[in-house]
Structure formats: structure tokens, C-alpha cells
Chains A and B, each alone.
Chain A
Amino acid sequence: MIGGKGKKIRTVLWQAFAVFITIFIYLIPFYFVVINSMKTKKEAGLMAISFPAEFSLTQIFENYREVLTSSKYLVLRAFKNSILLTVISVCLIILFTSLLAYIIQRRQDGLSKFLNFLILAGLIVPVSIVPTYRLLQSIHLSGTLFGLILVEVATQTSFATILFRGYFPNIPRELDEAAVIDGCGPVKLFFKIMLPLAKPVISTVIVLTALHIYNDFTNPLYFLPGSKNATIQLSIYTFYGMYESSWNLIFADVVLISIPVLILYIIFNKRIEAGMVSGAVKG
């Protein structure tokens, strides 16, 4: 091919350039956080990217142990709270929004149209803080984990419903009719036939809503304040306030709270990427 060699060289140069740029913009910040979480307080305060002057496993262990155990196991307790919050919220979201999306998609009537609009609004409109706070107070749920769970479920309803609604057309209606003719009731139809067939979208919704809720800072800040019940994102804020000059510990905390996210990404990267795109495009 004419000019094939020139083109090849150009491609190689492009790639080298891209790698070079990403090293500076992305890899160095990641590396910087990890390496500084292994240093002593004094050395981490220099904020350099050099290797620790004295690389010792004891120092690393000590840093991470201190993060987890300091101020009465604040971070460890926060992990527990966050896991509880995330697991319960995600279970409720999966159950409730799959039912909602299924009926909206299958009925396709005036009510469906109205609900589609109402659901879309949830992607756009910000949470109204004071009224929500007052409401939770009036039903004695303000400052409780359960109250926060309700808020998380409500704020994730739109996103999850849109993903489910986009998936149910893939399951042919003929299947529903055949099942009903065989004497299957609506509850059995949904739980025994629809949900098992919706497994791919269920796992997408699980991973994405879990990430959202685990990473959420704003709702816990308003609706579950106080260090006793702190969730993980809130605890890092509190932690920063207490150890402002101990950057080694702050970085260790940043690494710790990012590990669950990293694990989810390694296992589900294709699903996360596809889900985020389809959630955005269908919205």
C-alpha cells in the first residue's frame, strides 16, 4: 500500500503521545496517592512522588491500621454502615423498580406516558433538602439509617427504572400470553419468568446503584449526620478534619475507600461501562 509505512509511523507516534499524556494526567496522581500512603507523616508532608526513603512493611501496616482503628474505629464502623446502607438500598431498588418498569413498559397506556415523564424528572431535579428533612423528621426517621435508605431508594428510582424499562422490550410479550394461558398468575409470571430473564440488566443495576450509593456524600451529610452513624464518604471528611497534616493517613484512607470501587470495576467493567452509557442515552 502506498504510504503504508508513513501511516504506521504516525500511528506509533500517536500512541506514544497518548501514553505520555495519560501518564502525567492519570497515572501519576494514582501512583502518588498509593506511594504516599506508605510513607511516614513527615515524608508524606513533602508530597513528593519519590519512593519512601525507608520502605518498610511495618510503616505501611501501621498507617493503614491507624486509619481503620483511630477515633474508636471510625473508618471501620463507617465501612459497616456503608455496606449496610448499600446492600439494603440496592435490594429494595431492584425489587421495586423492576416491578414499576415492567408494568410501565408492558401497559404502554396514558398512565405509562405520565409515569415516564415523572421518572425522567428524577434525573433532572435536585433533591429538595429542607422539605425532605422535615418530612423524615415528622415520621421520626431523620438521622436514622432507614430514613437515609428511603432517600437513596427514591433518588435512584429514576435511573434504575429507565435501565429496566429499556430491557423489558427484549422479552417477547408472546411469552407472557403463553404463560397466562397455561394458568400462570401475574405474580408468578413476574417472579418466575420475567425476573430470571432480566438477569443481565439486574446485575447492571446492582453494580451501578451500589457504586452511586457507596460514593454518595450529599445525602448522608444531610440525612444521617454525626460520627456515630457515619458512612464511608462522610468518615473521610471527618478524618481529614482530624488529621489535616497527616497526609500519609489521609492517602491511606483514600486508598481504602477506593478499593471496593476498584474491585467492582475489575469484575464488572464491561457491564458498568455499557450500563452508564445506556442509562445516559435512554434518559
Chain B
Amino acid sequence: MSAKRLKGRMYPIYFMIPALVIYIVIFIIPTFSSFFYSFTKWTLTDWDFIGWDNYKTFFSEPSLRIGLKNTLIYGFGTSFGKVVIALLLAVLLTKGLKIQGYLRTVIFFPTLLSALAVGFTFKSLMHPTTGLINTALGALGAGSIHWLTNEKIALFSVMGIDIWKGLGVATLIYITGIQSIPKDYYEAAKIDGASGGQSFRFITLPLIRTAMNSVITLSLIGGLRNFDLVYSTTGGGPGFATELMTTVTYRMFAAGLYGLSTVGNVVLFLIITAIAFPLYGYLGKKEVEM
């Protein structure tokens, strides 16, 4: 029997059918047909092809357009926060401290909680008059801040909650990266008189490139796609201050404006693919071989 026929017999194609049918029918085909839907207008029973009208409406309506800007701020802001803070935490957590098991558990656990549970908790912690955060700040002499109800800061408050919740995974990815660096590198550097800062800059940082790339892509894509945390804390408000592409998509969907809703979806799809695929390529090139 030839090797090829043996392979065909041992690993039959039909094994893949159940997963692929569901994946393609429920996920891939809708992704492509969303382009078509975005050029249509729906009534209860019928649809009309209306060309670019949905896109025109979408970009001329400030309450919809704002979702685009906020999504980018949210995605890049939360990603940046996680990339930096998690790196500091990971360095701290690989120093061989006695309490690192405790720290790891405490920081990681919120990752597993649902966005709704976290959202409602922070909604109360950030309550303008009785919330714990303002009470604590008040004790320090600061005035009360309307974390989630002031148009200027609501988006940043939700981003803060997102970073709080998502630090755990990012930190763990870094820790795995740092632990895979051979200890002798640091010892050699120490013998040569390198300071702790220099070791970090010239050994740790280049060699955790892979880990950092994972953190960047994972948190960026997660941030751009976020829906439930915003929905449970501000619902897109006050006004439209915290609308994202995903909340706009939902708002239009709930109003029965399927064409406009799909435009939100398609624009988000385009943003994410335009960022994610080049990012994979670019970051892939910068990795250092160990």
C-alpha cells in the first residue's frame, strides 16, 4: 500500500465533516453574507437592495459614528494598559517571592468571572454618591467623581474595569515567557556587571517578544470586540459617550434596522482584520530566536 493511500485510510476526511459543517454554515458563511446584508434595507417580510445608503447613514449620523472612534480608543487603550501593567506584574511575580502563589490567584481570578458580574459590582463601586471608590477618595479629600455618568470619563472608567478584569491572562502569558529564559543568561550578565535594569532591558525584554506579541494581539482583538462589559456598566451612555461598534450593532438590531446593524458588524470586521493580520505578520518578524 502506498504511503499516500495509507494516510487517506488512517485519517479519513469525513472525520472533519461535523465540525466543519457547523463552523462553515453558522460562522463562515454569515461572515461573508454580512457584506450583502449591509447593502440592504429590511422590513418585516422583505428586503430591498439600497447600495451604499446604509454606509452613508452610518457615517453621517454622529450617534453611530462615535462608536468607531470609541472602539479604537477602547481597543488600543485597554491593550496598552494590559501590555505594560501585566509586564511589571510578571517581573514582580518571577522574583521568587513567598507570596507569589497568592498574588497569582488574586490577579487571575477576575478573568474567569463573567463580565456581567464584574460590571454590576463596579457599577456599585463607582456609584457617584455612595460608591466605595468615591467614599475612599472623599476620605482623602477629593470631590466625588461621576465615573460612569460623566460623558468625558465614562469610557475610561469602563476601560479601567476591563484592564482590572483582564490583567490575569496577560500576566500569566508573560510569566510563562520569562520562566522559559535560561537562568545562566542573567548570571552571565551579572558577572559582567550588568544592573538589574540592564538585565531587564537587554535580556528579558527581547526574549519575551513572543509572549508580548500574544498579549498585544489577544488584548487588542478582545478590546475591539468588547460588548458585555460596556453593556452592563453604561449601556453605551451617558448619551452616546461609551457607544462601541458592538453596542451600535445591538442598538440597531433591537430597533429592527438590520441593514444598519450589519454595517456596524462589517465595519468592526474590517477594522479588526485590517489591524490583526498585519499585526501578526509584523510582530512575527520582530521575534528573536533563542
Contacts and interface: CB of A to CB of B under 8 A. Distances in A.
B37 A131 contact: yes
A131 B262 contact: yes
B27 A49 contact: no
A139 to B, nearest CB: 9
B214 A280 contact: yes
B73 interface: no
B13 A118 contact: no
A11 B97 contact: yes
B273 interface: yes
B64 to A, nearest CB: 15
Interface string A241-283: 0000001001100100110011011000100110011001101
Contacts, number: 238
B258 A130 contact: yes
Given A26-B107, A254-B120, A276 B18 contact: no
Interface residues of A, number: 90
A190 B172 contact: no
B33 interface: yes
A264 B109 CA distance: 11
Q: Interface size class for chain B?
A: 35 or more
A73 interface: no
A128 B11 contact: no
Contact of B117 (A131, A161, A257, A280): A257
Interface in B1-59: 6-7, 9-13, 15-16, 18-20, 22-23, 25-31, 33-34, 37
B7 to A, nearest CB: 6
Interface string A138-172: 00000000000011011101100100000000000
A130 B228 contact: no
A198 interface: no
Interface stretch (B126-134, B139-147, B150-158, B183-191): B126-134
A218 B228 contact: yes
B121 A29 contact: yes
Given A130-B262, A258-B114, A18 B23 contact: no
Given A128-B269, A273-B108, A180 B26 contact: no
A273 B179 CA distance: 15
Q: Please indicate which of the listed interface residues A104, A107, A133, A176 has the most CB atoms of chain B within 10 Å of its own CB.
A: A107
Nearest to A265: B112
Contacts of B120: 236, 240, 250, 254
B116 interface: yes
Contact of B114 (A25, A217, A247): A217
Nearest to A176: B10
B131 A102 contact: no
The listed residue with most A CB atoms (<10 A of its CB), out of B6, B121, B164, B221, is B121
A88 to B, nearest CB: 13
Interface in A1-54: 11, 14-15, 18-19, 22, 25-29, 32-33, 36, 45-49
A281 B214 contact: yes
Contacts of A122: 23, 27
A123 interface: yes
Nearest to B217: A283
Interface of B: 6-7, 9-13, 15-16, 18-20, 22-23, 25-31, 33-34, 37, 92, 95, 97-99, 102-117, 120-122, 124-125, 127, 130-132, 135, 164, 169, 172-173, 176, 210-211, 214-215, 217-218, 221, 225, 227-228, 231-232, 246, 249-250, 253, 258, 261-262, 265-266, 268-269, 272-273, 276-277
Ranked nearest first, the 3 interchain pairs of A and B with the lowest CB-CB distance are A131-B30, A154-B26, A96-B19
Given A47-B124, A186-B12, A277-B176, 13 more contacts: A11-B97, A25-B164, A125-B31, A128-B30, A128-B31, A128-B262, A129-B250, A130-B262, A135-B29, A154-B23, A158-B23, A250-B120, A261-B113
